Structure 1
């Protein structure tokens, strides 16, 4: 067990105004995280934890695959969709432009379309489209391009409100795949894993005007997205994970988690249901479970049972479920581990990399697994083993982008140039 001592400015100097600010900030975040019962407003759902809203429904598709409601061209990119009421917001590249577009969830009829000059040049991957899921919050859409430019639009009509070329401003490089960490909207702040120099590693800007509120660290960016945990912003960067004060960016703690060389941190940190922090990465890094209290970050467990290249696990009860393995490393597996002990509960071999959506009911929690090969499983979140209610196959395509679920409608995206599609299925 490792304990890293860090400064804790909150214990020494935070007055009631600061505590009230943090409380208001967190309350504000949770309020905008749950804008409507059927929404999937951005990365990993309403609470950035992989769970769908409470009214999500999935029928039995053991004998009949889900109905395809609509399909439209997707352009370049890997950004998943965001959903608010009947509006699906998409982010993709079309020729020389990055496009933010809203269509109807029920029939894909266009609502609005806004374009920006695309600036990202090809990295390791020939796809030069956006990687980050657009975020819908407070009547606005926030879209972070592969070149590291943050756009803010009016959610109702797509009107441009403000733009900040953050990576250019802070001198961040493109890395292997460009910018891929989806910003966190928390209260009146948009918090971005920029990866810039001179305190431009993590940057918070105002929701209203895009002006800088605070800057912190000079860490290179990762492809993992920041979250809120224990009244802190948790950001997994290229080589370290930080706990930051949400009000001013003060570094509360720093935890080494990463590997030099041709590696990435791409799975987003998660808060387990017993309030621990769970980190995972591939390339020989594995997973880490930590706790934070009294200005310290305490490592409880380490292991390699879940070493996820980019798919974010999900926490249900005492267990964490997620993909282990790399897309470029052949077959992966789907694993359940006990978050209290760090021990493996079960492993299902021969699986593709899977994105996971949690669905709660009065009886139990279930997992909807979307394999990058288009295989779909509906599985009980159970420590008793991998025993699907049903499994089926979606139309051909590479389903790398994060899925979105609103009520019983699943929006997915395939990649592949001119063959890339947005698809909506009725579950």
Structure 2
């Protein structure tokens, strides 16, 4: 309804200034709008809320995928027990959820040595990222009427197993499919669907170990854009955000039995984050009301930092500054917050807050005393000493970033699926190496394991081999 009304109103305003009486122009506009929307359909928006349109008779990427791979089709292969290898990526944004790759250095001469395609194929829709463990890749997709956790062989892209459940999720802005990313731990995979379906699977086979309808059991209404928390596994517990009234929920990793829950804000699209502050391991969770530190054992509240407004829409992961500070964002700002334990109490105070860096839903990375991320789609650098924005250059839309920490290099994937290499330095970047990797709206986080680069969006997924250079 909204697209129809906006189109009609805009056209009437334009025609009404130039032509016939208002009644005539209104009739013309209504006929034009009806014809237009008989021909085209609305496919959601990009990161800047620009509409995506297509002809009404054209098949969606999901329809094409399902014609090629009917819903319910599954692989039949099994594998032996999985072991996390050096460089593997077992959870959302990798080790410590920092989107930082270590022990790898890329040859940046993409003009003469561009990434080489290993495989590229259609996938079911969704904004899940990928995890890579022991030669296998896992992600979440919409497969017709059910969400699915899908396991692929890294070398070939061939499907190994599929486990479906949790029903279908879709909404107008971003479309159908899961939002969260699976987590691997101790031979098991934990997944959280957009409808609040929490499950535990055997990694080698995809066999269901346990599941629960976490959001429904909590009595929580679904968030507008779906449940998006990638499961955090810590000290034998699986932690996800389910929404008010129960807020954050921890269940036993072995059985799925509830361990504890604590009230939180009305909504959050962020994931629980394990950090150590003042020598104490704890879970940090952001919601629309506050950022909170919870004890892992029982969920006791250690400290809180209220948001300046409850209309905040948290979608990002906090990042440790040092042993007593956290870098965090509501999407409309960036803050460095000092958190100290004094006796039995915790003290929380802002070191600085800047609104000159607004990362929206595009996670930032930290390197050498600076934060790097997309500010309204433009790559920017912020000095962590004082929150000063050092530079802002290069348009990437609603893309995502990886940090190659040993090399001081940013690997950016743009919203249009183009890869770019940019120096992670306080000096304004010069020439940038670029490579077209995917087609279509790309909001999913990329993954780099050894010389294999994995990218996906709501329609396709690909693996590229990148040339490495030896670490000095």
> Considering the TM-score relative to the shorter chain, is it more than 0.5?
yes
Matches within 5 A, 1:270-285: 270-272=319-321, 276-282=325-331, 285=332
Could you say what secondary structure the match of 2:215 adopts?
helix
SS in 2 for 1:100: strand
2:418 equivalent to 1:379: no
Which position in structure 1 is the counterpart of 2:304?
254
CA-atom RMSD in angstroms:
1.9
In structure 1, the residue matched to 2:187 is 139
**Which residue in the other structure is 1:322 paired with?**
373
Higher relative contact order (CA 8 A, sep 6+): 1
Looking at structure 2, the residues matched to 351 and 423 of structure 1 have their Cα atoms a distance apart, in angstroms, of 19
- 1:281 is paired with a residue whose SS is coil
- What's the offset of the Cα at 1:183? 1.8
Q: CA distance change for structure 1 residues 181 and 118 in 2, over 3 Å: closer, same or farther?
A: same
CA contact (8 A) 1:281 1:310 kept: no
CA distance in 2, matches of 1:44, 1:273: 19
Q: Give the match for residue 423 of structure 1.
A: 462
Counterpart CA distance in 1 for 2:395 and 2:328 is 23
Structure 2 residues not aligned, in runs of 5+: 1-82, 467-472
Please give the alpha-carbon distance, in whole angstroms, between the structure 2 residues aligned to 1:413 and 1:85: 20
Alpha-carbon contact 1:201-1:216 (below 8 Å) kept: yes
Match of 2:339 among 283, 292, 295: 292
Q: Unaligned stretches of 5+ in structure 1?
A: 1-33, 326-331
Q: SS of 1:194's equivalent?
A: strand
Q: Are residue 205 (structure 1) and residue 256 (structure 2) matched?
A: no
1:389 deviates by 5.4
Q: Which has the larger radius of gyration?
A: 2
In the alignment of these two chains, the number of paired residues is 376
Aligned: 1:102 with 2:151? yes
Q: What is the SS of the residue equivalent to 1:47?
A: helix
| TM-score for the superposition, normalised by structure 2 | 0.76
Matches within 5 A, 1:194-273: 194-197=242-245, 200-229=246-275, 230=277, 231-257=281-307, 259-261=309-311, 264-272=313-321
Alpha-carbon distance in structure 1 between the residues aligned to 2:241 and 2:431: 37
Aligned to 1:339: 384
2:141 matched to which residue of 1? 92
Cα distance between partner residues in 2 of 1:411 and 1:426: 9
CA distance in 1, matches of 2:96, 2:382: 22
| Equivalent position SS for 2:217 | helix
1:403·1:410 contact (CA, 8 Å) conserved in 2? yes
Partner of 1:190: 238
